[in-house]
Chains A and B, each alone.
Chain A
């Protein structure tokens, strides 16, 4: 008798097999957050678009989705990891020279190109600045193609602000409006105090034409998106980056299902018009 191979159990396609990447640098961003610079050992994965993510594998521990947070000056891919569990803990304690596995890039992106000719308002909360940084860098690298740009960043405290030196560089430019706010101020803090959605009204943009990119804890995104809509931004021009429990990243396992949407393949970047109602459904 001939045993037929089960088509569902065949070896994974190359895109599902992690490729080897070596950690070249580790940047301590915050007490619980590090940025890993990685370089391909073999053939590199496709270039990620701003907002896309990789499945990052800590050998022997597990795999998690991590957004790409940019490229280093030497061109290495940057991923910013916050230690919240076993796998992110292993990734966060990685040393230069270590080997990791990467597959991807996966998911939708911020569609930076589609914002050309529009004012842009970027709102980041906490670690949400990491997936937004490549988009901000793209806007600033091609500054003339966009209208007014506002970058609003919120964090728990001044010590929890991600990418501080780069925020300072952006703030020093006269062609981008950067506003920082914290929930709890510390002595000497000169920025704002209060939640980041409150900064929306102060952004010097034409809300009726603006494109908004929002990333952070889901509660913060919900309030921010509503604040943007209240000011006149169309829900189709408000983009949020959702996070759900992802395992396969290719829409097969269903762990990240959000109503009719698979966050891994339809998202993570989605229009608020499509997911805004779902973001207010407790069961989702």
Chain B
């Protein structure tokens, strides 16, 4: 069983929790458990309650959109140090995409419902986390915009 301190240390190496106050980090680590997914295993389903989010330690996961009677469309992959899931933060608290482990993946699973309650009670921590997740979301949005530009298209010089 991975210890609380070890989870806190793992979280410091991630994009979303890097530099967070140690006391806050320890509290968040208390909501965490170590999890592993086999290659191909489903981690989340679109529309399902988003009670947890994940910080990836090793491996790779893919965000996908299911297509009826066809292969799922892969939107984005996430790797070590990256955070998976922010639907736990916002109503209706449901996953927006399917998530699948592309390869053997280890992660820290964090109880979003518990953390949300704490954020409501402790608005300072709530604001801090909201800012940090907003930063991650902004970076992902910028990357998605770049992806939409099709910069490798024929009409643009390479």
A residues in contact (CB < 8 Å) with B: 32, 82, 84, 125-128, 154-156, 160, 181, 183, 185, 187, 189-195, 197-198, 201-202, 216-220, 223, 243
Per-residue contact bits, chain B 106-125, to A (CB 8 Å; 1 contact, 0 not): 00000000000000000000
Could you tell me if B143 and A156 are in contact, using CB atoms closer than 8 angstroms? no
CB neighbours of B60 from chain A (8 A):
192
Cβ-closest chain A residue relative to B63 = A193
CB neighbours of B79 from chain A (8 A):
192, 202
CA distance A128 to B102 in the complex (A): 27
How many inter-chain contacts with C-beta < 8 Å in the A-B complex?
72
Give B132 Cβ to nearest chain A Cβ, in Å: 16
Cβ-closest chain A residue relative to B103 = A190
Cβ-closest chain B residue relative to A218 = B157
Give A51 Cβ to nearest chain B Cβ, in Å: 15
A-B contact pairs, 14 of them (CB 8 A): A126-B158, A127-B152, A154-B152, A155-B152, A185-B73, A191-B77, A194-B76, A195-B143, A195-B146, A195-B147, A198-B143, A202-B80, A217-B152, A223-B142
CA distance A201 to B75 in the complex (A): 19
Could you tell me if B156 and A194 are in contact, using CB atoms closer than 8 angstroms? no
Could you tell me if B62 and A183 are in contact, using CB atoms closer than 8 angstroms? no
CB neighbours of A183 from chain B (8 A):
147, 150, 152
Could you tell me if A125 and B152 are in contact, using CB atoms closer than 8 angstroms? yes
Give A121 Cβ to nearest chain B Cβ, in Å: 16
Cβ-closest chain A residue relative to B156 = A217
Cβ-closest chain B residue relative to A183 = B147
Could you tell me if A84 and B76 are in contact, using CB atoms closer than 8 angstroms? no
Per-residue contact bits, chain B 76-95, to A (CB 8 Å; 1 contact, 0 not): 11011100000000000000
CA distance A201 to B62 in the complex (A): 17
Could you tell me if A156 and B75 are in contact, using CB atoms closer than 8 angstroms? no
Further 15 A-B residue pairs, CB within 8 A, beyond A127-B152, A155-B152, A197-B146:
A84-B154, A125-B152, A126-B152, A127-B158, A154-B152, A156-B152, A193-B75, A193-B76, A194-B77, A195-B146, A216-B151, A217-B152, A223-B142, A243-B157, A243-B158
